[in-house]
Amino acid sequence: MKRILLAIAAVVLAIVGIQVFYEPGASQASAPVADRAGQLVRGEYLARAGNCMGCHTNAGGRAIETPFGRIYAPNITPDKETGIGNWSADDFWRAIHNGKSRDGRFLYPAFPYPSYTKVSRADADAIYAYIMSRPAVSKPNREHALDFPYNQRILLAFWRTLYFTPGEFEPAADRDAQWNRGAYLVQGLGHCAACHTGRNALGGTLDKNDLAGAAIPARDWYAASLALHDRDVAEIASLLKTGVSSRGAVYGPMAEVVSGSLQHLSDADTLAMATYLKSLPPTATLKVADLAHAPQERARIIEAGARIYEKQCAACHLATGEGQGTAYPPLAGNRTLGASPVNAIRIVLNGGYPPSTHGNPRPYGMPPFGQELNDEEVAAVVSYVSSSWGNQGGMVSPASVARLRGMPGD
Protein backbone atom coordinates (compact mmCIF):
# COMPACT_ATOMS: atom_id res chain seq x y z
CA MET A 1 0.00 0.00 0.00
CA LYS A 2 2.85 2.37 0.86
CA ARG A 3 4.41 1.78 -2.57
CA ILE A 4 1.10 2.48 -4.26
CA LEU A 5 0.69 5.75 -2.38
CA LEU A 6 4.26 6.76 -3.22
CA ALA A 7 3.64 5.95 -6.87
CA ILE A 8 0.46 8.03 -6.90
CA ALA A 9 2.27 10.90 -5.20
CA ALA A 10 5.06 10.70 -7.77
CA VAL A 11 2.55 10.86 -10.64
CA VAL A 12 0.79 13.83 -9.06
CA LEU A 13 4.07 15.68 -8.55
CA ALA A 14 5.11 14.89 -12.13
CA ILE A 15 1.86 16.27 -13.55
CA VAL A 16 2.07 19.45 -11.48
CA GLY A 17 5.75 19.88 -12.30
CA ILE A 18 5.22 19.47 -16.02
CA GLN A 19 2.37 21.97 -16.05
CA VAL A 20 4.33 24.47 -13.97
CA PHE A 21 7.49 24.39 -16.06
CA TYR A 22 6.33 23.29 -19.52
CA GLU A 23 5.79 26.45 -21.58
CA PRO A 24 6.10 25.83 -25.32
CA GLY A 25 6.67 28.99 -27.29
CA ALA A 26 8.07 30.84 -24.27
CA SER A 27 11.34 31.48 -26.07
CA GLN A 28 9.60 33.03 -29.08
CA ALA A 29 10.59 36.69 -29.07
CA SER A 30 8.68 39.70 -30.35
CA ALA A 31 9.56 40.76 -33.87
CA PRO A 32 10.74 44.36 -34.38
CA VAL A 33 7.91 46.73 -35.29
CA ALA A 34 8.66 49.53 -37.73
CA ASP A 35 5.15 50.96 -37.88
CA ARG A 36 4.08 51.52 -34.28
CA ALA A 37 0.91 53.39 -35.22
CA GLY A 38 -0.07 50.61 -37.59
CA GLN A 39 0.47 48.04 -34.86
CA LEU A 40 -1.89 49.91 -32.55
CA VAL A 41 -4.59 50.05 -35.21
CA ARG A 42 -4.16 46.35 -35.86
CA GLY A 43 -4.20 45.61 -32.14
CA GLU A 44 -7.49 47.42 -31.68
CA TYR A 45 -8.96 45.46 -34.58
CA LEU A 46 -7.73 42.14 -33.18
CA ALA A 47 -9.02 42.98 -29.69
CA ARG A 48 -12.41 43.49 -31.32
CA ALA A 49 -12.09 40.17 -33.14
CA GLY A 50 -11.35 38.46 -29.83
CA ASN A 51 -14.24 40.32 -28.15
CA CYS A 52 -12.01 41.27 -25.21
CA MET A 53 -14.44 43.99 -24.08
CA GLY A 54 -17.22 41.41 -23.87
CA CYS A 55 -15.78 40.15 -20.60
CA HIS A 56 -13.25 42.72 -19.45
CA THR A 57 -15.50 45.74 -20.17
CA ASN A 58 -13.75 49.03 -19.43
CA ALA A 59 -11.73 47.78 -16.44
CA GLY A 60 -12.89 44.30 -15.55
CA GLY A 61 -15.38 43.23 -12.93
CA ARG A 62 -17.98 41.54 -15.11
CA ALA A 63 -19.31 38.37 -13.53
CA ILE A 64 -18.95 35.29 -15.70
CA GLU A 65 -21.33 32.56 -14.61
CA THR A 66 -20.00 29.01 -14.90
CA PRO A 67 -21.26 25.63 -13.65
CA PHE A 68 -18.48 25.82 -11.05
CA GLY A 69 -19.24 29.23 -9.63
CA ARG A 70 -18.72 32.84 -10.59
CA ILE A 71 -15.55 34.26 -12.12
CA TYR A 72 -14.90 37.98 -12.28
CA ALA A 73 -13.04 39.28 -15.31
CA PRO A 74 -9.86 41.11 -14.25
CA ASN A 75 -8.80 44.67 -14.93
CA ILE A 76 -6.51 44.60 -17.98
CA THR A 77 -5.95 48.33 -18.31
CA PRO A 78 -2.35 49.61 -17.95
CA ASP A 79 -2.85 50.56 -14.30
CA LYS A 80 0.25 49.38 -12.42
CA GLU A 81 -1.52 48.63 -9.15
CA THR A 82 -4.77 46.98 -10.19
CA GLY A 83 -4.30 46.27 -13.91
CA ILE A 84 -1.52 44.84 -16.05
CA GLY A 85 0.65 47.94 -16.23
CA ASN A 86 3.65 45.95 -14.98
CA TRP A 87 3.23 43.22 -17.56
CA SER A 88 5.64 42.91 -20.46
CA ALA A 89 4.80 41.71 -23.94
CA ASP A 90 6.32 38.37 -22.91
CA ASP A 91 3.99 38.19 -19.90
CA PHE A 92 0.98 38.86 -22.11
CA TRP A 93 2.14 36.22 -24.59
CA ARG A 94 2.49 33.77 -21.69
CA ALA A 95 -1.16 34.34 -20.75
CA ILE A 96 -2.45 34.12 -24.33
CA HIS A 97 -0.34 31.16 -25.40
CA ASN A 98 0.10 29.12 -22.22
CA GLY A 99 -2.74 30.20 -19.96
CA LYS A 100 -0.48 31.44 -17.16
CA SER A 101 -0.39 34.74 -15.34
CA ARG A 102 2.69 36.94 -15.01
CA ASP A 103 3.59 35.20 -11.74
CA GLY A 104 3.15 31.72 -13.23
CA ARG A 105 -0.27 30.97 -11.72
CA PHE A 106 -2.61 28.89 -13.84
CA LEU A 107 -5.44 30.95 -15.33
CA TYR A 108 -8.98 29.63 -15.24
CA PRO A 109 -10.18 28.62 -18.72
CA ALA A 110 -13.09 31.05 -18.53
CA PHE A 111 -10.33 33.10 -20.13
CA PRO A 112 -10.42 31.15 -23.41
CA TYR A 113 -6.70 30.45 -23.72
CA PRO A 114 -7.43 26.93 -25.07
CA SER A 115 -8.49 28.84 -28.21
CA TYR A 116 -6.26 31.90 -27.88
CA THR A 117 -3.18 29.67 -27.85
CA LYS A 118 -3.56 29.54 -31.64
CA VAL A 119 -2.99 33.30 -31.93
CA SER A 120 0.35 34.25 -33.48
CA ARG A 121 3.03 36.07 -31.48
CA ALA A 122 2.75 39.10 -33.79
CA ASP A 123 -0.99 39.35 -33.22
CA ALA A 124 -0.60 38.89 -29.46
CA ASP A 125 1.98 41.68 -29.43
CA ALA A 126 -0.37 43.96 -31.36
CA ILE A 127 -3.20 43.35 -28.88
CA TYR A 128 -0.80 43.99 -26.00
CA ALA A 129 0.41 47.24 -27.57
CA TYR A 130 -3.18 48.42 -28.03
CA ILE A 131 -4.18 47.54 -24.46
CA MET A 132 -1.14 49.35 -23.07
CA SER A 133 -2.03 52.45 -25.11
CA ARG A 134 -5.44 52.79 -23.46
CA PRO A 135 -6.09 54.88 -20.33
CA ALA A 136 -5.15 53.25 -17.05
CA VAL A 137 -8.09 52.71 -14.71
CA SER A 138 -7.60 52.04 -11.01
CA LYS A 139 -10.12 49.35 -10.15
CA PRO A 140 -9.24 46.47 -7.82
CA ASN A 141 -10.05 42.97 -9.02
CA ARG A 142 -12.69 40.91 -7.27
CA GLU A 143 -12.02 37.46 -5.90
CA HIS A 144 -13.67 34.66 -7.81
CA ALA A 145 -16.63 32.97 -6.11
CA LEU A 146 -15.96 29.38 -7.09
CA ASP A 147 -17.26 26.30 -5.32
CA PHE A 148 -14.88 23.89 -3.62
CA PRO A 149 -12.74 22.20 -4.96
CA TYR A 150 -12.76 24.34 -8.11
CA ASN A 151 -11.37 27.27 -6.13
CA GLN A 152 -8.14 25.30 -5.65
CA ARG A 153 -6.14 26.68 -8.55
CA ILE A 154 -3.45 24.00 -8.35
CA LEU A 155 -6.01 21.45 -9.57
CA LEU A 156 -5.91 23.18 -12.95
CA ALA A 157 -2.64 21.28 -13.51
CA PHE A 158 -4.71 18.12 -13.99
CA TRP A 159 -7.37 19.88 -16.09
CA ARG A 160 -4.69 21.27 -18.37
CA THR A 161 -3.10 17.86 -18.75
CA LEU A 162 -6.40 16.47 -19.97
CA TYR A 163 -7.83 19.33 -22.00
CA PHE A 164 -5.23 21.92 -22.99
CA THR A 165 -2.61 21.63 -25.71
CA PRO A 166 -0.65 24.84 -26.38
CA GLY A 167 0.28 25.59 -29.96
CA GLU A 168 -0.09 28.24 -32.65
CA PHE A 169 -2.44 27.82 -35.58
CA GLU A 170 -0.88 25.88 -38.42
CA PRO A 171 -2.32 26.64 -41.89
CA ALA A 172 -3.60 23.66 -43.85
CA ALA A 173 -1.42 23.14 -46.90
CA ASP A 174 -4.33 21.82 -48.97
CA ARG A 175 -6.53 24.89 -48.33
CA ASP A 176 -6.35 28.41 -49.76
CA ALA A 177 -5.50 31.59 -47.87
CA GLN A 178 -9.14 32.59 -47.37
CA TRP A 179 -10.05 29.26 -45.74
CA ASN A 180 -6.99 29.37 -43.50
CA ARG A 181 -7.75 32.93 -42.43
CA GLY A 182 -11.28 31.87 -41.50
CA ALA A 183 -10.02 28.84 -39.60
CA TYR A 184 -7.53 31.03 -37.71
CA LEU A 185 -10.26 33.45 -36.64
CA VAL A 186 -12.84 30.79 -35.74
CA GLN A 187 -10.47 28.47 -33.90
CA GLY A 188 -8.30 31.17 -32.33
CA LEU A 189 -9.35 34.77 -31.66
CA GLY A 190 -13.04 34.09 -32.22
CA HIS A 191 -12.91 31.21 -29.67
CA CYS A 192 -16.17 29.89 -31.11
CA ALA A 193 -15.62 26.47 -29.50
CA ALA A 194 -15.99 28.08 -26.07
CA CYS A 195 -19.77 28.06 -26.54
CA HIS A 196 -20.55 26.01 -29.64
CA THR A 197 -18.72 22.81 -28.68
CA GLY A 198 -20.04 20.44 -26.03
CA ARG A 199 -18.32 20.08 -22.67
CA ASN A 200 -18.10 17.35 -20.10
CA ALA A 201 -18.68 17.57 -16.36
CA LEU A 202 -15.19 19.02 -15.81
CA GLY A 203 -15.63 21.72 -18.43
CA GLY A 204 -13.39 20.09 -20.99
CA THR A 205 -14.46 20.33 -24.62
CA LEU A 206 -15.65 17.05 -26.08
CA ASP A 207 -14.20 17.85 -29.50
CA LYS A 208 -12.32 21.11 -29.93
CA ASN A 209 -13.35 21.71 -33.52
CA ASP A 210 -16.68 20.06 -34.15
CA LEU A 211 -18.77 23.20 -33.31
CA ALA A 212 -21.83 20.97 -33.35
CA GLY A 213 -23.76 23.09 -30.86
CA ALA A 214 -23.98 22.95 -27.09
CA ALA A 215 -25.97 24.09 -24.10
CA ILE A 216 -24.71 27.09 -22.14
CA PRO A 217 -25.98 25.91 -18.75
CA ALA A 218 -24.82 28.89 -16.71
CA ARG A 219 -26.87 31.25 -18.89
CA ASP A 220 -29.66 28.90 -20.00
CA TRP A 221 -29.20 29.35 -23.72
CA TYR A 222 -28.29 26.95 -26.51
CA ALA A 223 -25.41 27.75 -28.89
CA ALA A 224 -26.48 26.35 -32.26
CA SER A 225 -24.32 24.22 -34.52
CA LEU A 226 -21.86 26.14 -36.68
CA ALA A 227 -21.43 23.30 -39.15
CA LEU A 228 -23.16 25.35 -41.84
CA HIS A 229 -22.48 23.18 -44.88
CA ASP A 230 -26.04 23.67 -46.11
CA ARG A 231 -25.86 27.48 -46.10
CA ASP A 232 -24.60 29.93 -48.69
CA VAL A 233 -21.29 31.61 -47.82
CA ALA A 234 -22.71 35.10 -48.36
CA GLU A 235 -25.66 34.27 -46.10
CA ILE A 236 -23.36 33.04 -43.32
CA ALA A 237 -21.21 36.16 -43.65
CA SER A 238 -24.33 38.35 -43.38
CA LEU A 239 -25.44 36.56 -40.23
CA LEU A 240 -22.02 37.04 -38.64
CA LYS A 241 -21.71 40.72 -39.56
CA THR A 242 -25.28 42.01 -39.27
CA GLY A 243 -26.96 39.50 -36.97
CA VAL A 244 -29.62 38.60 -39.54
CA SER A 245 -29.92 36.66 -42.77
CA SER A 246 -32.69 35.16 -44.86
CA ARG A 247 -32.33 31.92 -42.90
CA GLY A 248 -32.20 33.18 -39.34
CA ALA A 249 -31.14 35.75 -36.75
CA VAL A 250 -29.03 35.78 -33.61
CA TYR A 251 -30.33 36.43 -30.10
CA GLY A 252 -29.11 36.23 -26.54
CA PRO A 253 -25.36 35.79 -25.93
CA MET A 254 -24.64 35.56 -29.67
CA ALA A 255 -26.25 38.95 -30.20
CA GLU A 256 -23.65 40.36 -27.78
CA VAL A 257 -20.87 38.79 -29.84
CA VAL A 258 -22.15 40.23 -33.12
CA SER A 259 -22.75 43.66 -31.59
CA GLY A 260 -19.44 43.94 -29.77
CA SER A 261 -17.16 42.02 -32.09
CA LEU A 262 -18.18 40.52 -35.41
CA GLN A 263 -19.91 43.56 -36.91
CA HIS A 264 -16.60 45.45 -36.66
CA LEU A 265 -14.63 42.93 -38.70
CA SER A 266 -13.80 43.53 -42.34
CA ASP A 267 -15.95 41.99 -45.05
CA ALA A 268 -12.94 39.91 -46.06
CA ASP A 269 -12.62 38.42 -42.58
CA THR A 270 -16.31 37.63 -42.10
CA LEU A 271 -16.33 36.06 -45.57
CA ALA A 272 -13.27 34.00 -44.61
CA MET A 273 -14.99 32.81 -41.43
CA ALA A 274 -18.09 31.94 -43.43
CA THR A 275 -15.99 29.99 -45.93
CA TYR A 276 -14.45 27.96 -43.12
CA LEU A 277 -17.78 27.31 -41.36
CA LYS A 278 -19.40 26.14 -44.58
CA SER A 279 -16.59 23.63 -45.06
CA LEU A 280 -17.19 21.89 -41.73
CA PRO A 281 -18.58 18.37 -42.13
CA PRO A 282 -22.18 17.66 -41.13
CA THR A 283 -22.62 16.77 -37.49
CA ALA A 284 -25.31 14.74 -35.82
CA THR A 285 -27.99 16.87 -34.20
CA LEU A 286 -28.17 16.27 -30.46
CA LYS A 287 -31.88 15.79 -29.95
CA VAL A 288 -33.59 16.52 -26.69
CA ALA A 289 -35.27 13.64 -24.93
CA ASP A 290 -38.87 13.46 -26.08
CA LEU A 291 -41.47 13.46 -23.33
CA ALA A 292 -43.62 10.37 -23.08
CA HIS A 293 -47.20 11.17 -24.02
CA ALA A 294 -50.07 8.94 -25.01
CA PRO A 295 -50.84 9.52 -28.72
CA GLN A 296 -54.14 11.26 -27.97
CA GLU A 297 -52.54 13.57 -25.39
CA ARG A 298 -49.69 14.41 -27.75
CA ALA A 299 -52.14 15.20 -30.53
CA ARG A 300 -54.15 17.42 -28.18
CA ILE A 301 -51.06 19.44 -27.19
CA ILE A 302 -49.92 19.84 -30.80
CA GLU A 303 -53.39 20.93 -31.85
CA ALA A 304 -53.53 23.48 -29.03
CA GLY A 305 -50.09 24.75 -30.06
CA ALA A 306 -51.21 25.05 -33.68
CA ARG A 307 -54.14 27.25 -32.65
CA ILE A 308 -51.87 29.51 -30.60
CA TYR A 309 -49.39 29.70 -33.47
CA GLU A 310 -52.12 30.65 -35.94
CA LYS A 311 -53.35 33.42 -33.63
CA GLN A 312 -50.04 34.82 -32.36
CA CYS A 313 -47.26 33.85 -34.76
CA ALA A 314 -48.45 33.13 -38.30
CA ALA A 315 -48.89 36.77 -39.29
CA CYS A 316 -45.10 37.26 -39.15
CA HIS A 317 -43.61 33.78 -39.52
CA LEU A 318 -46.35 32.60 -41.93
CA ALA A 319 -48.49 29.48 -41.64
CA THR A 320 -45.73 27.51 -43.35
CA GLY A 321 -43.09 28.64 -40.86
CA GLU A 322 -40.99 30.06 -43.71
CA GLY A 323 -40.73 33.56 -42.26
CA GLN A 324 -40.38 36.76 -44.29
CA GLY A 325 -36.93 37.83 -45.36
CA THR A 326 -34.58 39.10 -42.69
CA ALA A 327 -37.36 40.76 -40.68
CA TYR A 328 -39.09 37.59 -39.45
CA PRO A 329 -36.76 34.55 -39.32
CA PRO A 330 -37.95 31.21 -40.64
CA LEU A 331 -38.89 28.54 -38.14
CA ALA A 332 -39.08 25.72 -40.67
CA GLY A 333 -35.97 23.55 -40.72
CA ASN A 334 -34.54 25.37 -37.72
CA ARG A 335 -31.46 23.47 -36.48
CA THR A 336 -31.68 24.95 -32.99
CA LEU A 337 -35.19 23.63 -32.40
CA GLY A 338 -34.04 20.11 -33.17
CA ALA A 339 -31.41 20.21 -30.46
CA SER A 340 -32.98 22.23 -27.66
CA PRO A 341 -36.19 24.20 -27.10
CA VAL A 342 -34.59 26.55 -24.58
CA ASN A 343 -34.00 29.44 -27.01
CA ALA A 344 -37.54 29.24 -28.37
CA ILE A 345 -39.04 29.16 -24.87
CA ARG A 346 -37.02 32.20 -23.77
CA ILE A 347 -37.90 34.21 -26.86
CA VAL A 348 -41.61 33.39 -26.58
CA LEU A 349 -41.56 34.41 -22.92
CA ASN A 350 -39.33 37.48 -23.11
CA GLY A 351 -39.38 38.47 -26.77
CA GLY A 352 -36.15 39.12 -28.56
CA TYR A 353 -34.27 41.46 -30.84
CA PRO A 354 -31.29 40.77 -33.02
CA PRO A 355 -28.45 43.22 -32.32
CA SER A 356 -28.49 46.67 -33.83
CA THR A 357 -25.57 46.70 -36.25
CA HIS A 358 -24.17 48.91 -38.99
CA GLY A 359 -25.71 46.57 -41.54
CA ASN A 360 -29.04 46.33 -39.74
CA PRO A 361 -29.41 49.43 -37.53
CA ARG A 362 -33.14 49.06 -36.86
CA PRO A 363 -33.81 45.35 -36.45
CA TYR A 364 -37.29 43.95 -36.25
CA GLY A 365 -38.05 42.32 -32.92
CA MET A 366 -40.45 39.84 -31.43
CA PRO A 367 -42.68 41.03 -28.58
CA PRO A 368 -42.84 39.04 -25.33
CA PHE A 369 -45.76 36.71 -24.77
CA GLY A 370 -44.92 35.74 -21.20
CA GLN A 371 -47.74 37.80 -19.74
CA GLU A 372 -50.27 36.64 -22.29
CA LEU A 373 -49.56 32.91 -22.37
CA ASN A 374 -49.34 30.60 -19.37
CA ASP A 375 -46.78 27.81 -19.02
CA GLU A 376 -48.99 25.18 -20.64
CA GLU A 377 -49.69 27.43 -23.63
CA VAL A 378 -46.04 28.33 -24.15
CA ALA A 379 -45.12 24.64 -23.92
CA ALA A 380 -47.82 23.78 -26.46
CA VAL A 381 -46.80 26.36 -29.08
CA VAL A 382 -43.09 25.55 -28.74
CA SER A 383 -43.91 21.83 -29.00
CA TYR A 384 -45.86 22.55 -32.19
CA VAL A 385 -43.07 24.62 -33.74
CA SER A 386 -40.41 22.09 -32.67
CA SER A 387 -42.19 19.21 -34.38
CA SER A 388 -43.44 20.94 -37.56
CA TRP A 389 -41.98 21.76 -41.00
CA GLY A 390 -39.14 19.29 -40.77
CA ASN A 391 -38.01 20.27 -37.28
CA GLN A 392 -36.91 17.30 -35.21
CA GLY A 393 -37.46 18.59 -31.68
CA GLY A 394 -39.46 16.90 -28.96
CA MET A 395 -42.35 17.86 -26.76
CA VAL A 396 -41.83 20.63 -24.21
CA SER A 397 -43.07 20.42 -20.64
CA PRO A 398 -44.77 23.28 -18.76
CA ALA A 399 -42.17 22.70 -16.02
CA SER A 400 -39.40 23.65 -18.46
CA VAL A 401 -41.24 26.85 -19.26
CA ALA A 402 -41.77 27.64 -15.58
CA ARG A 403 -38.05 27.21 -14.89
CA LEU A 404 -37.16 29.74 -17.58
CA ARG A 405 -39.96 32.18 -16.91
CA GLY A 406 -38.05 34.06 -14.26
CA MET A 407 -34.77 34.14 -16.15
CA PRO A 408 -33.50 37.48 -17.50
CA GLY A 409 -33.83 37.87 -21.24
CA ASP A 410 -30.13 38.33 -22.07
Compute the average pLDDT of residues 336-349.
85
Q: Give the confidence band of 335 by pLDDT, cuts at 50, 70, 90.
A: confident
Residue 314 has pLDDT above 60, yes or no: yes
Q: Which residue type sits at 166?
A: P
Residue 89 has pLDDT above 50, yes or no: yes
Q: Mark 317-356 as b/e (b = at least 16 C-beta within 10 Å).
A: beeebebeebebbbbbbbbbbbbbbbbbbbbbbbebebbb
Q: Give the confidence band of 212 by pLDDT, cuts at 50, 70, 90.
A: confident
Residue 258 has pLDDT above 90, yes or no: yes
Q: Give the confidence band of 365 by pLDDT, cuts at 50, 70, 90.
A: confident
| Average pLDDT of the residues of the chain | 87
In contact, 67 and 218? CB cutoff 8 Å: yes
Residue 147 has pLDDT above 80, yes or no: yes
State the pLDDT at residue 337: 76
Residue 368 has pLDDT above 60, yes or no: yes
For the chain, domains (ranges, CATH) are: 2-163 (no CATH), 177-279 (1.10.760), 295-405 (1.10.760.10)
Specify the range with the lowest mean pLDDT, choosing from 40-54, 64-78, 211-225, 240-254.
Answer: 211-225
State the pLDDT at residue 21: 45
Residue 105 has pLDDT above 70, yes or no: yes
Q: What is the per-residue pLDDT across 10-39, written as a single tens digit (0 to 9) for each?
A: 544 555 555 554 566 566 778 788 899 999
